[in-house]
Amino acid sequence: MTGCTPVSDSGLERRFHEAMLDVYRLAKKLHRYNATYFLRMVTERGGLRAAQDLLASAEVPAGLMKLAELNALDISMEALVLREPRQRLFTPAELVVAKERLQQLGFKSDGTPAAPGAG
């Protein structure tokens, strides 16, 4: 991504929103983790705004810490935003936050399975 402004693409935003809902569904189905706060944020604010708000937080979200405990960072929102074409929806600073949080928790994005709703 070049520049400092994310790309506006309503189709991509809709697909991202659905992928964010898939993050919740997969966490619940695969790991029995019911991320109710995350689901409420996504349904009330939309997937893109929820992700931006979580990335703007100075604290690492509790949900990300829980996914780390479950060895499920590959289905996290942070992993989701780092995959193309979704990166275009975020600023370079937001992408850095996502990457740094994952790295701090020991997640290496190379060779990981595709995120929910990929494509």
d(CA 73, CA 83): 13
Interval 25-78: pLDDT, tens:
999 999 999 999 999 999 999 999 999 999 999 999 999 999 999 999 999 999
Pick from 91, 78, 82, 84: which is nearest to 6 by CA? 91
The token pair at 32 is: 């029995």
Amino acid found at 13: E
Q: Please give the share of the chain, as a percent, with pLDDT higher than 70.
A: 84
